[in-house]
Structure 1
């Protein structure tokens, strides 16, 4: 088969941000020849966009990529569809079909793998592959191009042994390595059954042959890759594999301690010429934490792993303790400390072991700990969530990411809707609107709390001031006298911060686009109701200077140096972290 001027197959998706490099579509590309026949890969290309691009712009670029229609050379466009891009993707496909009705549109991804008969996007498509697409997409492309034509619109994805899959890492371009987080995996699936997660549908976890994975990682590193985000749902499930992977990276640092990093924070603008498309974890994806930096001690390496919170045996501890600062970020999904809620959602978690492991990591490792909690789970009240938040805050992880429950299509959490009064939004991302335990107003209130927590706590801009906020009485206007739970502010950091959140909302009516100067002045007014104005001002002054901000808040008039010092790289990086945290 000879290659035409224009590709016969185009794989595309709308990523959450440019920094994300789509892993799933690279798997499809890498497996076209193996499972669709020799020469198929040469007919294919990747187009990567972001959800911030307008649908007409995306369609215009796709049409230019595809070239003119041909009666003799059918063309296929495959889209990766996810909870964060389904709305935009639907509009792109609608416009594309109007312009080129001859195109064969194929969909795949978690958003279209379940409830396919209920979605506008699937009605627009010619074919939908549900579940695994590595093998099925290649076979479908061969049939669409050469016949016989497939009869089924909905095609259940074929799950092969992992040994039969070609690894996708050769599909990462040099630009990807220089400017993006690289998504990699050593396993697929999850043996746990947490019902809010699509991984609850997996029968188990499957591991790739580790020598293949390590060889691929070595090739990526030799090409210049320095940031690796493992998308394994349970990195520390099989300790033998975890230890070998960590040892690989320790050996890399030992062998090349002074090799410079290509910083992933120097991001290029969105580029329609960049190869890519699809990453199921994008909205949860984390870039560099405050601990990440480019120095000779860590050879510029940054590693992200998602770990089970209550499983940290001694072999793994010994390995984690060897990494220097700035290398490891561990995402720890605690989600809830409420035992009854854990049982309802089929989540197995030893809370005491979880707490002990987090404390050990903080005391004996340099890992940056990013810990997740979910609000709105069946049976969770605001007070029980507050208890869990306070418990986690006392442990002291570097970041506490607060999310609101979302009903992913196909996730078993839907079985609790009637019994627990769960009502979800009908549009993506399908966030819970109210439950039998939490009304709609409280969920809106918590949503504001989570946003202010990102801005004031997770941003790292208000370290000293936050300590005051979590121990100070609320301003007089902050507490609703009818809110009996809010009276608990005196003993609870959660309620203290909720009082601040309510006050900020009442005062400014916004949770976004709040400048550092506005926040400084607002926090000064709030805290000076109950604390010494001089003490509050000194904390704000220290935080403001350390953040690198260079304006002149009213509360700090006459106190700032003429030229504030340039912000440390880690502070600049951390200030943008929360833009990445759109919870999935």
Structure 2
């Protein structure tokens, strides 16, 4: 039995919740009667409720995010119907800002903001039987130097099997209107000595997979250098993920990044748009020349694998403008280009554009845009399918030579837009398309534009570049019998980026 259960539904099994571990670490004398239970979205909510309630908790704290909000609402209903005496406390970004677009009325308490201190105080009052807190508790920002850090509460199982999430700071100095981080523009840092001490403890326990959740890892160069130097001293294999701003890579940082081996460093680069007028509309500062230079450097002089973000549906951004962004990014970088759909999150100031640009969003998570005055609902649906097929075909790394041929005339967006519409007509789906089936679709589509044997050979090179794959049956009918099928093995960790450099 445990008095307090801390839980959430992660997007994937490999993920861990840093927020739950912060709450757990700061429960003080209540910690010995608390337990963390993590689940995965799209699981049976009744089974989750069963596993929570078998501990007979008096309090259940649930972290709520955009990806699990609907599941959490159902989970809360189940818990309260089965065990109405159990106190349910919600926290996290999805309940911290109004309007709440998912019904959480059955929850007993909601903590908005940073809950490390407030959650402990609430639990103590409830367990002591003298709680006088309001249902919605507005929690102030905590002092990072005065709370207990959560890293000792990653289990050995977590370290061996899951991503280890860490943060050296909170806040973001920028004011991009689509992002919740813009609400907290004041940066708060841990002491770099304290932070590296925690990283080293995790390293000594065997952690090798670190994902930094800081929104702007490279904003404070002295901290970035200290962290990169720490890992460069290690001889073992490891994987690091950082979110970076694209225009702040001074020479001293470049020299360090160049030293990382392939497969060890991943950078999530927030571009969103390269249209200066659109960027101005959403309060995003762009230094285009710096961005171009840095992307070129990262692509040509480092082994860093990049995820570069572009958004469809920003206020005043047309499809044609988005297409120009994509065409330009393709020439600047060998990284994956993550095509995202604009979402209106509660707490952001995006709603000020609603009337001006006719912005219409779904009322259900993830609150994605449905249409605006510049992009119709039908076009937006096409663009959502474009994004899905782009991920399957281009970002997967499975068809590098094929897409290079498709884009050889420089019309990246135009050509892939046409392909994506054809793929949807042909497949009537954007999911559960196998590698062999997609290869056959690409052959069918591109055979109308290129020599059949040429495209067959290129698709075969793509499909067979990872050892152990079998030749798709449709290609056996086309490729000459004396074709040399021996292909070099390319490791999964870095195949996407390395192949683009060939």
- Specify which of 510, 529, 538 is matched with residue 429 of structure 2: 510
Displacement of 1:572 in angstroms is 8.0
Q: 1:451 to 1:567 in 2, by over 3 A?
A: farther
Q: Which residue of structure 2 lines up, in the alignment, with residue 365 of structure 1?
A: 302
Residue 535 of structure 1 pairs with residue 454 of structure 2: yes
1:187-238 CA-to-partner distances (Å, cap 9, x unmatched) read 1110100000001111311111111110010010110000100000000011
Runs of 4 or more consecutive aligned structure 1 residues displaced over 6 Å after TM superposition: 560-567, 572-575
The whole-number CA distance in structure 2 between the counterparts of 1:493 and 1:569 is 26
Task: Trace 1:49-60 onto structure 2 (pairs within 5 A).
Answer: 49-60=39-50
Q: Is the 8 A contact 1:541 1:556 kept in 2?
A: no
Task: Trace 1:487-498 onto structure 2 (pairs within 5 A).
Answer: 492-498=411-417
Aligned length: 494
| Greater relative CO (CA pairs within 8 A, separation 6+) | 1
Q: Which residue of structure 2 lines up, in the alignment, with residue 32 of structure 1?
A: 27
The whole-number CA distance in structure 1 between the counterparts of 2:381 and 2:482 is 40
The whole-number CA distance in structure 2 between the counterparts of 1:174 and 1:563 is 46
Task: Trace 1:550-565 onto structure 2 (pairs within 5 A).
Answer: 550=470, 552-557=472-477, 559=479
1:544-579 CA-to-partner distances (Å, cap 9, x unmatched) read 11144325331333748999779957338979xxxx
Q: Is the 8 A contact 2:73 2:102 kept in 1?
A: no
Q: Which residue of structure 2 lines up, in the alignment, with residue 319 of structure 1?
A: 256
The whole-number CA distance in structure 1 between the counterparts of 2:485 and 2:12 is 31
- Specify which of 104, 107, 118 is matched with residue 125 of structure 1: 107
The whole-number CA distance in structure 1 between the counterparts of 2:334 and 2:472 is 32
Q: Gaps spanning 5+ residues in structure 1: where?
A: 1-5, 34-38, 68-74, 258-298, 472-489, 576-584
Q: 1:411 to 1:565 in 2, by over 3 A?
A: farther
Task: Trace 1:391-540 onto structure 2 (pairs within 5 A).
Answer: 391-471=328-408, 492-540=411-459
Q: Which residue of structure 1 lines up, in the alignment, with residue 319 of structure 2?
A: 382
Displacement of 1:491 in angstroms is 5.3
1:40-96 CA-to-partner distances (Å, cap 9, x unmatched) read 1111101111012111110111111227xxxxxxx1000000000010111111010
Q: Is the 8 A contact 2:175 2:185 kept in 1?
A: no
Q: 1:147 to 1:203 in 2, by over 3 A?
A: farther
The TM-score normalised by the length of structure 2 is: 0.95
Task: Trace 1:62-461 onto structure 2 (pairs within 5 A).
Answer: 62-66=52-56, 75-115=58-98, 119-121=102-104, 123-251=105-233, 253=234, 257=235, 299-461=236-398
The TM-score normalised by the length of structure 1 is: 0.82
Q: Which residue of structure 2 lines up, in the alignment, with residue 290 of structure 1?
A: none
Q: Gaps spanning 5+ residues in structure 2: where?
A: 497-502
1:158-181 CA-to-partner distances (Å, cap 9, x unmatched) read 212210111101110111011111
| CA RMSD between the two structures | 1.9
Q: 1:491 to 1:392 in 2, by over 3 A?
A: closer
The whole-number CA distance in structure 1 between the counterparts of 2:258 and 2:436 is 39
Q: 1:564 to 1:166 in 2, by over 3 A?
A: farther
Displacement of 1:444 in angstroms is 0.6
